Amino acid sequence: MLWSDLIAELTAVGSSGSSSQPITGVEYDSRRVRPGSVFVAMKGGTTDGNRYVDKAIAAGALGIITDSSRTFDHLVVYKSEIPVVEVEHGRRALAEASAAFFGHPERKIAATGITGTNGKTTTAFLTEALLNAAARKTVLIGTIEYHVAGEIRHSVHTTPESRDVFELLAEGAARGATELVTEVSSHGLDQGRNFGIPFDVAVFTNLTRDHLDYHVTMEKYFAAKRLLFDGTVYPAPRVAVLNAHDERTLDLIEAARGGGSSICTYGIGIGDFRATSHKLTPGGATIQLETPVGSAQLNSHLAGDVNVLNLLAAFTSAHARGVAFDELVDAVPHLKPVPGRFQPVDAGQPFTVIVDYAHTDDALRNLTALARQLVAANDGRIITLFGCGGDRDRTKRPKMGYAAGEGSDLVIATSDNPRSEDPRAILAEIEPALKATGTHYTIEPDRAAAIHLALNSAQPNDVVLIAGKGHEREQILADRTVPFDDAEVALAALRDLGYGKES
């Protein structure tokens, strides 16, 4: 691809110079620039890429795309040998340039985007699995990991920059992938990281309090989610799949219809795709499903009401992507739980240990409610371990304290990812709410010690919930990031307590 081919696909407000050299890449990080790269210098949330234009040029950048008129003028005057384009919106230009450079893979792959506070990851994994069961190759982009036509890769961001999405799509398309399933975060929507991806199906799971350190208010948080459906910034989806239980769904129905979308709702007892009845079992759930296209009994290995909803969202989404009803029914019994989402840790102990990503008060309530169902028959207790992340929304700390205290018989409050904050200061904001519930609790800032304490406190038939980090493999401290896997730490602690050892 040549410079003239690339800039023909940009929405530019000014340009200067040209080049006959072939473009070797499109980059937004000056550290990744190589000879022949085009560098997109754009303003971001924490830094301004225009500050690194000289570094990109020194690294061999063939040309510059900038969203700063000051940078444009500087380059035109002092570096006339460097072709430069000025654009109004840097992230939109990044998407346009990346789509062009990677050969427009978004035209070969149909996208399903999933947004919401809770349930995105599980719904994405289940949707992909249902599409795979119908012999469709997929690209998955989400919190835990990325998948490219069956190859598993490390996840860098829940919603990567558009350049990285287009690269993944291009690789997937080259391997025969026809479907993209991606989590869509509110940050990504607000910042424009989803430019250039026409979502065929868009899914809304729910909206509860989270990320107010970024969005400030719930209305702004919801407004970011709404962008996936209303057609004002991104194209409205062909089909909007919406949780019939959430109070925000009525707004989304109006917004999506205004953008020309078809609407399909799901829920327990309500919605187009609905569980008219369901029975939770130790191994999952049996669901009676009613839909506009058929009825069936589903046998799922995913436990809890929340996973009934996640399964319904995935089932509805895959059907919207054209998978036959009967194929979906046949695939459900083969679906597996998602890593870090109600993940059991078993060393032969006489009590249940669960690792879960629950990191909001709503997610904690769902988690403890499910645990209460598990212990109801044998009079066991619920022991909940949780913390709150540092440098994040402080207002949810007491809310999580109340949720854990109200749903548990014993709570161990500990560190999550404290980041730059003092763990004890975070715990001090949690403790008054815990105390107000009247539930027995202990404060232990050291997460490994807290896990050991929770497991040592457990008795036969109890359920120990280790909440907050789920699939994460690291803990972020003020001065370093250390390896930390809740499941591995719990398993080691169980062995220290004498479980799982050969006799």
Q: Per this entry, what is the length of the chain? A: 503
**Which pLDDT value is given to residue 209?**
67
**Which pLDDT value is given to residue 37?**
98
Mean pLDDT by 10 residues, the chain (503 residues): 95 93 96 97 88 96 96 87 94 97 98 94 96 98 93 84 96 98 92 93 90 79 94 96 97 96 98 95 86 96 89 98 98 91 90 92 91 86 96 92 97 97 97 97 97 97 95 93 96 94 51
Domains of the chain: residue spans and CATH? 3-101 (3.40.1390.10), 105-334 (3.40.1190.10), 343-496 (3.90.190.20)
**Which pLDDT value is given to residue 376?**
82
Residue 180's nearest CA partner among 226, 230, 136, 239 is 136
Q: How far is CA 332 from CA 137, 267, 319, 329, in A?
A: 18, 17, 13, 6
What span, in angstroms and rounded, lies between the C-alpha atoms of 82 and 60? 10
Beta pairing partners, 384 = 411, 465
What span, in angstroms and rounded, lies between the C-alpha atoms of 359 and 126? 21
Q: At what angle do helices 305-320 and 120-133 cross, to 10 degrees?
A: 50
For every residue of 435-487, DSSP letters joined together read: HHHT-EEEE-S-HHHHHHHHHHH--TT-EEEEES-TT--EEE-SS-EEE--HH
C-alpha angle 190-306-216 in degrees, rounded to nearest 5:
30
**Separation of CA 171 from chain center:** 21
What span, in angstroms and rounded, lies between the C-alpha atoms of 341 and 206? 17
**Which pLDDT value is given to residue 220?**
93
- pTM to 2 decimals? 0.84
Cβ atoms of residues 207 and 222 within 8 Å: yes
Phi and psi angles of residue 39, each rounded to the nearest 5 degrees, phi first:
-100, 125
Structure tokens, 502: 């050969």
What span, in angstroms and rounded, lies between the C-alpha atoms of 418 and 476? 6
Spatial CB neighbours of 168, under 8 Å, sequence gap ≥ 6: 139, 141, 146, 148, 160
**Which pLDDT value is given to residue 225?**
94
**Which pLDDT value is given to residue 501?**
65
What span, in angstroms and rounded, lies between the C-alpha atoms of 124 and 118? 12
Q: Rounding to the nearest 10 degrees, give the CA dihedral for residues 487, 493, 497, 503.
A: 60
For every residue of 41-62, DSSP letters joined together read: E-B-SS-BGGGGHHHHHHTT-S
- pLDDT, tens only, 2-47: 999 999 999 999 999 999 999 999 999 999 999 999 999 999 877 8
Mean per-residue pLDDT over the chain, rounded: 94
Sequence letter at residue 459: Q
Q: What is the DSSP letter of 73?
A: H
Cβ atoms of residues 420 and 457 within 8 Å: no
**Strand residue runs (E) in 33-141:** 37-41, 63-66, 84-87, 110-115, 138-141
Phi and psi angles of residue 107, each rounded to the nearest 5 degrees, phi first:
-85, -10
Cβ atoms of residues 112 and 321 within 8 Å: yes
Cβ atoms of residues 371 and 305 within 8 Å: no
Element (H, E) at 281: strand 273-281
Q: Rounding to the nearest 10 degrees, give the CA dihedral for residues 328, 282, 313, 315.
A: 0
What span, in angstroms and rounded, lies between the C-alpha atoms of 440 and 103? 59
What span, in angstroms and rounded, lies between the C-alpha atoms of 181 and 171? 15
**Which pLDDT value is given to residue 78?**
80
Cβ atoms of residues 386 and 357 within 8 Å: no
**Strand residue runs (E) in 142-185:** 145-148, 151-154, 179-183
What span, in angstroms and rounded, lies between the C-alpha atoms of 179 and 166? 13
**Which pLDDT value is given to residue 503?**
37
**Which pLDDT value is given to residue 211?**
67
What span, in angstroms and rounded, lies between the C-alpha atoms of 491 and 421? 28
C-alpha angle 381-402-203 in degrees, rounded to nearest 5:
95
Structure tokens, 324: 């036959």
Q: How far is CA 222 from CA 225, 229, 422, in A?
A: 5, 11, 30
What span, in angstroms and rounded, lies between the C-alpha atoms of 172 and 168? 6
